[in-house]
Structure 1
Amino acid sequence: MNNDLSATEAARLLNVSLPTLYSYVSRGLLASVSNGDSRRKRYPQEDVLRLAARKNDARHGGQTAVAAMHWGLPVLETRISHIFDGRLLYRGCDATALAESATLETAAGLLWDDNAIDYFQQDAPVLPQELAGAPDAPPLARAMLAMAMLASMPALADILKSGPALMRILAAALLQTAPSALPLHLQLAQVWHADAQQTELLRAALVLLADHELNASTFAVRCVASTGASLAAALMAGLAALSGDKHGGGSAAARRMLMQALAAPDASAAIGAYYKTTTPEFAGFGHPLYPDGDPRAAYLLGSLTTMAHEKPELAAILAVCAAAGELLDTRPNADLALAAMELAFGWPEGSGWSVFMLARSAGWIAHAAEQAASAALIRPRARYIGRHQRD
């Protein structure tokens, strides 16, 4: 399908006159392509939309960075993923469509280089004994420790550059197992004793959470990667960002709400009391980038609904989810879906967080590679608002 635009269409999108459009071409800001035998030029739609976004940023002047920190304007360009019209797209592919059958490994290959190479054909890495980790530590701490130790071992240079090896090591740290070449969703399923339906849901969840544009942890990864640090060090930065309740703690907060509501004589009262002290956005409900609802949550909760008639515990959990949505007058996000899965299937507490970490590592690796390839150091400026001179 040819998405090239006419000069009139391109000028309308850019909100400029035709002479201004032609000046953009002459200045190298926009490409034009020949229209076959016709002398009229055409303009690639994606290039026009990208230039329109840049013009929009420029109008906001020095407020761009401030707005970006509050779910506003973009601060980096990427070819990896974006959120558009309520959909999450990986290199132009709808994540919810991919979730129907893809694995996390397939999604990772798409994010890394549009599946030009099957990276996961290689064997699982064999690691030194000292990388076994601290058995009594929680999964996030074990994962951070593994990445920190890898980053300090230059002798493991091949592993430090290998996305598949690092994802398998991360899975091993989260699950306290040896690194394996088994598909990652099956590794989770084996340790958590998931049945066939649950295993399929795990597979889909990993795909849906593999990337999410320029969120806090991904930006941290890109900042570290821009310094020339190793891939393991960049992943450690992403894990550190996830340790914050406002980013990685959403499924745990949603789980607490579900447990309190299920145990209370009046579920609605318990839900209302919980969200008086907890921001819904950080505990399962609402998302600034999805005003009409998080498609990842819709997919996962929809799958859970089809299973509920055979599982009374799951039906009760979904009833609480519905009651909370009505009370808050907002729709669920992916954190609520992870919490519902964890609680309904009796997986270890914090397993939703582990799913999130393992899934998102695929996107982190893609962004780290894209940032490193740009050879640019991320070094924004601050707007000083303090005292300029002391008396």
Structure 2
Amino acid sequence: MDEEGRLTTRQAAELLGVKPATVYAYVSRGQLTSRRDPVGRGSTFDAREVEALAVRSRREAAVPAGELSVRTSLTLIEDDRYYYRGVDAVELASAHPCEEVAEWLWTGALPRGARFTAPPETLAAARRAVDALPGHSGPADRLRVATAAAAVTDPLRFDLSPEAVLGSARCLIPTLVGALPVVGRAQWAGDGRIARQLWPRLTAREPDPDALAVLDLALGLLIDHDLAASTLAVRVAASARAHPYAAVSAGLGVLEGPLHGAAGRLAHGMLAEALERGDGAAPVVADHLRAGRRVPGLGHRLYRGEDPRASALFARLEALPQAGPALAAAREVVATTAARRPGLHANVDLALAVLTVSYGMRAQAGETVFAVARTAGWIAHALEEYQERPLRMRPSGQYQGPRPPRPMP
């Protein structure tokens, strides 16, 4: 190693445990950068960069063959609780607005009074694009189109440095919210907090401070939840070095799947029907089971007990008189189902449905809240993935077709 901390090709190969030719293959794939030796006898490599690649390679080699494992320092789910960078996520979201929670997940710092602002030209472009959609378009449709419009206005979107990606994220989230059509009074739309900007896009009813606090709590709780299907899609896109807007678009595409993002809408419909019928939630649960449908808002594969996000939201909702009827219906749904399946507990979709039903929000409001919140988490995962080896998420298919050679059809 020379005085500048650079390695020869042979030294780099020894440290990586590969042949010299493989070192140059790493260079061609963008995993290492090389510099010509001043004497002209070959290439040299930054020792720290080589060591970092060696560490990543050793970690990947430790993963059992055939098992998909993604290293992350963002969210840990353990013993029916979950943590953002080691801090209890429920406690964090209960004490800080969603913008500060997002900053913590992105940077590991907690800046007080964090605000996100949409650039006027970006917001205008996103609104024009969303306004051109048919009136029946869903929230995922609008958010995907707004994301694409925002990307086009950002000439720096291909800069994948952490500073540039964070700058894009702080502009994208308020742009997505601001591009959604206003349902309520427009004067609520200009406040700096994401929760206040989002509220009039969800309902025509004016918010009170306690209701806004519950919405902000929901946003903070939903920012990340380990490697959900949409988050994995984001990591795959980021592994291919797609820019952050494209990575978010990948997440939004998966979120629209009926097995991922639609659960909140189904729970909303169930509670709304129970309140409209007026004879309790038990008959509605019976109708779901009679039709062969799952009762929405119940159970989560990662928790043995009640989803901690649901517990936190229920606790806040109990203090709101407006939420009383919907909360009682939700509790009845859980109790009715528990008579036969005692291990089935409420999840966050049911708790979010209590909020959306209580304040006259549309059925897709929960999906909108989920998508806006999770955008911050997707950005955090994209930031992590940009620091990994490119295209590392390239599994091999297990071919099941006929063996060649076959005659030409």
Common fold, TM-score beyond 0.5?
yes
Distance 1:163 1:357 in 2: 14
Does 2:171 correspond to 1:165? Answer: yes
Residue of structure 2 equivalent to 1:174: 180
Residue of structure 2 equivalent to 1:97: 91
Residue of structure 2 equivalent to 1:254: 267
Deviation of 1:141 after TM superposition, in Å, equals 1.3
SS in 1 for 2:326: helix
Q: Which amino acid is the alignment partner of residue 143 of structure 1? A: L
Mean CA deviation greater in 154-163 or 206-215: 154-163
Distance 1:311 1:222 in 2: 37
Residue of structure 2 equivalent to 1:381: 396
Does 2:310 correspond to 1:314? Answer: no
1:194-250: CA deviations, max 9, x gaps? 211111101111111010001111111111111122111111111111111111111
Deviation of 1:53 after TM superposition, in Å, equals 12
Deviation of 1:252 after TM superposition, in Å, equals 0.4
Deviation of 1:311 after TM superposition, in Å, equals 5.3
In the alignment, is the contact (CA less than 8 A) between 1:255 and 1:340 conserved in 2?
Answer: yes
Q: Which amino acid is the alignment partner of residue 130 of structure 2? A: A
The 1:370–1:237 alpha-carbon spacing in structure 2 relative to 1, beyond 3 Å, is: same
Deviation of 1:312 after TM superposition, in Å, equals 4.8
Distance 2:327 2:173 in 1: 34
SS in 2 for 1:89: strand
Does 2:280 correspond to 1:270? Answer: no
In the alignment, is the contact (CA less than 8 A) between 1:305 and 1:318 conserved in 2?
Answer: no
In the alignment, is the contact (CA less than 8 A) between 1:123 and 1:181 conserved in 2?
Answer: no
Deviation of 1:304 after TM superposition, in Å, equals 1.7
The 1:291–1:168 alpha-carbon spacing in structure 2 relative to 1, beyond 3 Å, is: same
1:326 to 338, 346, 351: 338
SS in 2 for 1:306: coil
The 1:150–1:190 alpha-carbon spacing in structure 2 relative to 1, beyond 3 Å, is: closer
Q: Which amino acid is the alignment partner of residue 162 of structure 1? A: S
1:166-190: CA deviations, max 9, x gaps? 1111111235589967111121235
SS in 1 for 2:319: helix
In the alignment, is the contact (CA less than 8 A) between 1:120 and 1:164 conserved in 2?
Answer: no
Distance 2:268 2:336 in 1: 13
1:328-379: CA deviations, max 9, x gaps? 4310111111111100121233211111111111100000111112242121
Residue of structure 1 equivalent to 2:217: 204
SS in 2 for 1:379: coil
Does 2:233 correspond to 1:237? Answer: no
The 1:317–1:156 alpha-carbon spacing in structure 2 relative to 1, beyond 3 Å, is: farther
SS in 2 for 1:245: coil
Residue of structure 1 equivalent to 2:378: 364
Q: Which amino acid is the alignment partner of residue 370 of structure 1? A: E
Does 2:100 correspond to 1:87? Answer: no
In the alignment, is the contact (CA less than 8 A) between 2:102 and 2:377 conserved in 1?
Answer: yes
Aligned length: 327
Distance 1:139 1:163 in 2: 19
Distance 1:89 1:369 in 2: 18
Mean CA deviation greater in 197-206 or 179-188: 179-188
Does 2:370 correspond to 1:352? Answer: no
In the alignment, is the contact (CA less than 8 A) between 2:280 and 2:332 conserved in 1?
Answer: no
Does 2:356 correspond to 1:342? Answer: yes
SS in 2 for 1:355: helix
State the percentage of identical aligned residues: 32
Deviation of 1:322 after TM superposition, in Å, equals 3.4
1:134 to 91, 116, 130: 130
| Runs of 5+ consecutive residues of structure 1 not aligned to the other structure | 1-26, 29-50, 66-74
1:83-123: CA deviations, max 9, x gaps? 11111110001111112221111111111110176794564
